[in-house]
Structure 1
Amino acid sequence: MATAPELPCHAAATSFDAAQAVVRANCAPLGIEWVALAKAGRRILAADAVARIDSPRRDSAAMDGFAVRSQDLTSDFTRLVLRAESVAGGAVPPALLADTAIRVSTGAPMPAGADRVVMHEHARVEGGHIIVPHVSGKPHVRPRASDFAQGTALLPAGTRIDPRAMVVAAAADIEKLPVWRQPRLRVLVNGDELVPPGCAVQDCDTIPDSLSEALLLMARQWGAKPLGALRVMDRVDELRATARMALEDTDVIVIAGGASDGHRDLVRAALTPLGLRMRFAGVAMKPGKPVWYGMIGGIHVLGLPGNPTAALTTARLFLAPMICALSGAGFDHALRWSERRLLHDVPAGSDRDQFLCAVADRTSDGVIIIARQEASAQMMLARADLLVERRAGADPAAAGASVRCLPF
């Protein structure tokens, strides 16, 4: 796995594309583990899931009715002896003799010799006999292994286990699945002024920590295993002690509020003794220029701005694909850009790549960029469901022009 060299303390901002390439190059699936099917939801298969049994297990009825031999139905109406009954989950009934029938329910094993099910509404029972019309068309029989056969690869490696995939795996009698390990993630939020939500009302010099739970939720949505968040004072010794504890059981550490020049120096002073090697420090993007990325051994450390919109934007563009790469889904799984039409004019791009909060129009393929973009804003996040990409130096765009959009 390629890695970038460590950067000097105040290196120039890295281009957005180069920064993403650095993260991509350093992230690979963490390893394979076997998990019970009941625990495999939303995990990524590391190898094909192979059927352990045939489905169906034997020739079976596809309808409620009567199992018959087509060769016995030689006239407009045929009288057959009703011999027995076969039910789903029951034993295979005896072979069907000439001019006889067996009552069957949907999913019941078919008797040897029977090649058709006459639906019960098409037959008439008279004592120990049934009267069956001449029928053609579908036989209403599910042949053995007609859905899938034992040994068939049903779910390819890379499949995310959703409810549909879980049905298939369970039907194939698969008890455990090989999946890529989930990256364990912990959030560290530093800032003397931060307090848990619900506590700021008591002190006007504090502000609620609005990022910890949001980042943990984003991590969970993209496939990580969140281990919780820790609030840290702006002190080197406390940050170092907290980070040292987090390193014991973590694959990814996200430090929110540790990305401005001053905070980055504090973080570097705290984490360099622990082995931090910075891969990039600052990205030519807006919002989110202070974002940085490094590693401590094999543990990924991502520094996000403290401003909420900037933090969530950079997390969406760097943390989400990082988690997808580490969990086996692939870096690009989180970067499914699409084209939408602007519903208004936009000015020329700035000197940095911009990723703007926007709202998708629900009645068309249009998009509206939210006015007054501010890195510290929070209210607009409740409306924004897209990020619109505007590259550095982009020409002004008129309504109707196509822009690249990413689900936010």
Structure 2
Amino acid sequence: MIGFEEASRLLRENVAALPAEPVTIEEAAGRFLAKDLLARFDAPRSNVSAMDGYAVRAGTLENGVPFKVLGQARPGMPFGGEVGVREAVRIFTGAAVPKGADCVVMQEYARAEGDTVSFEEGHGPTRHIRKAGSDFCEGDVLLARGTRLTPRAMVAAAAADRASIEVSIQPRVAIIATGDELVSPGEAHATANAIPESASHGVAALCEAMGGTVVLRLTGRDELGLLTDLASEALATADLVVVTGGASVGDHDLARPMFEALGLELVFAKVAIKPGKPVWLGKVGDKPVLGLPGNPTSAMVTARLFLQPLLAAMQGGEAAANLQFLPMPCAAALPEAGGRETFIRAIATPEGLTPAQNQESGAQAPLAQSDWLIRRPAGSPATARGETVSALAF
């Protein structure tokens, strides 16, 4: 059994990015860039006004003295002439600053009368001009390879003036839930000892949120022949297979054996974490197979710790960037940690992170409220209320 850091390293070393494909800018949101996105030109392309007002020569400004208004400049419609002494051009935010002008006086300090304008005290010293190239210059890397095109990143992507963008192919994901007791939600109430199959629904949602496409969802009883057939179907259909359940020690530990006849090579078998010790990663050919525990909380914690970075890596993103632990205040005292690294489900409150009351690996209700994982290395000493802990957004 290995530690969390070692398992994360092995995941990074054994998962490769899928090939690239071009998409339109309209289709790019949420995708991962397959190559650096370069700017086609400077932004702004020329000096532009940061305010509505009047473009003038700063050295000729005199309060109360009339300036002749030569014309106006709008975004995309520049003034073609040159501004001289005691001359002004009416200008609007984003318009190119006319030749000769080096200052924009805000309209709040201007008094227009006919074809002249005068200025009142208080307009300086700010010149309200955005310099050419002050945002970025031609050839600058606006977004690096591996960047996910979030809503904010989409603004920069569009600013690069590229109608087509190279992104990594979205992973096709197959999810297999295993267990004799599992039935589809809506059916369990009618059968004694049946349990609604819930873990795969959270796993599927995480896959979609991370840019994956769930192409197959299967549920199989604990019969090796049946499960091997499901594994074969999943591998033939998807780029990544995620299996939940059947990863404990015993006669029903079939999650790995169901792939063995298909050429499974293990990357790691167990990780010294709580919850989620049975999590494992393997490969069949070049396709990753991730095994998650059957208990829903364990499945979702390990999905956050391993599946999310894995999906990012398959799309050219940085796996480690999806494991950014931050210092956060804890709103409760924590006992000494045990022999395994522990991830405590917690809820963000104004006072800090509050651990969920039920930390059992099979608990499902607390998952809806828990939005952080508090990381407690093995053997960590007890902490008092208000102390800083290391935490990961869940």
Aligned to 2:332: 343
Aligned to 2:156: 168
Alignment of 1:264-279 (within 5 A): 266-279=254-267
Alignment of 1:81-92 (within 5 A): 81-92=68-79
1:85–1:172 distance in 2 versus 1, CA, 3 Å: same
Counterpart amino acid of residue 82 in structure 2: A
Whether the 8 Å contact between 2:57 and 2:103 is mirrored in structure 1 is yes
Q: Deviations over 1:254-295 (max 9, x none)?
A: 111231345765344532332222333344444333333211
1:100–1:225 distance in 2 versus 1, CA, 3 Å: same
Out of 365, 383, 388, which is 1:379 matched to?
Answer: 365
Whether the 8 Å contact between 2:176 and 2:218 is mirrored in structure 1 is yes
Structure (1 or 2) with the larger CA radius of gyration: 1
Out of 185, 193, 201, which is 1:213 matched to?
Answer: 201
Identity %: 39
1:92–1:58 distance in 2 versus 1, CA, 3 Å: farther
CA RMSD between the two structures: 3.2
2:260 partner SS = helix
1:234–1:164 distance in 2 versus 1, CA, 3 Å: same
Counterpart amino acid of residue 321 in structure 1: P
1:95–1:388 distance in 2 versus 1, CA, 3 Å: closer
Q: Deviations over 1:179-207 (max 9, x none)?
A: 34443322111223322212222323422
Rounded Cα–Cα distance in structure 1 between residues aligned with 2:389 and 2:72: 65
Counterpart amino acid of residue 343 in structure 1: A
Whether the 8 Å contact between 2:273 and 2:343 is mirrored in structure 1 is no
Aligned to 1:184: 172
Q: Which runs of 5+ in 2 are unaligned?
A: none
Aligned to 1:79: 66
Out of 215, 222, 225, which is 1:234 matched to?
Answer: 222
Query: Does 1:60 find its partner at 2:45?
Result: no
Whether the 8 Å contact between 1:313 and 1:355 is mirrored in structure 2 is no
Query: Does 1:44 find its partner at 2:44?
Result: no
Rounded Cα–Cα distance in structure 1 between residues aligned with 2:343 and 2:105: 63
Whether the 8 Å contact between 1:356 and 1:369 is mirrored in structure 2 is no
Aligned to 1:121: 108
Cα offset, 1:18, TM superposition:
4.2
Rounded Cα–Cα distance in structure 2 between residues aligned with 1:390 and 1:65: 57
1:235–1:150 distance in 2 versus 1, CA, 3 Å: same
Cα offset, 1:209, TM superposition:
0.8
Counterpart amino acid of residue 107 in structure 2: H
Query: Does 1:399 find its partner at 2:362?
Result: no
Whether the 8 Å contact between 1:51 and 1:151 is mirrored in structure 2 is yes
Cα offset, 1:296, TM superposition:
0.6
Query: Does 1:35 find its partner at 2:20?
Result: no
Cα offset, 1:357, TM superposition:
3.2
Query: Does 1:197 find its partner at 2:185?
Result: yes
1:234–1:107 distance in 2 versus 1, CA, 3 Å: same
1:36–1:122 distance in 2 versus 1, CA, 3 Å: same
Q: Deviations over 1:204-255 (max 9, x none)?
A: 3422111111011222334433334222233334323332232234222111
Counterpart amino acid of residue 355 in structure 1: T
Q: Deviations over 1:103-152 (max 9, x none)?
A: 22222233322233333333333333333458652233333333322222
1:18–1:152 distance in 2 versus 1, CA, 3 Å: closer
Out of 213, 219, 243, which is 2:231 matched to?
Answer: 243
Aligned to 1:151: 139
2:236 partner SS = coil
Counterpart amino acid of residue 399 in structure 1: A
1:194–1:93 distance in 2 versus 1, CA, 3 Å: same
Whether the 8 Å contact between 1:389 and 1:405 is mirrored in structure 2 is yes
Rounded Cα–Cα distance in structure 2 between residues aligned with 1:385 and 1:255: 24
Whether the 8 Å contact between 2:72 and 2:79 is mirrored in structure 1 is no
Q: How many residues were matched structurally?
A: 391
1:95–1:383 distance in 2 versus 1, CA, 3 Å: closer
1:94–1:183 distance in 2 versus 1, CA, 3 Å: same
Query: Does 1:110 find its partner at 2:110?
Result: no
Rounded Cα–Cα distance in structure 2 between residues aligned with 1:345 and 1:231: 38
Provide the TM-score with structure 1 as the length reference.
Answer: 0.82
Rounded Cα–Cα distance in structure 2 between residues aligned with 1:86 and 1:220: 47
1:14–1:387 distance in 2 versus 1, CA, 3 Å: same
Aligned to 1:131: 118
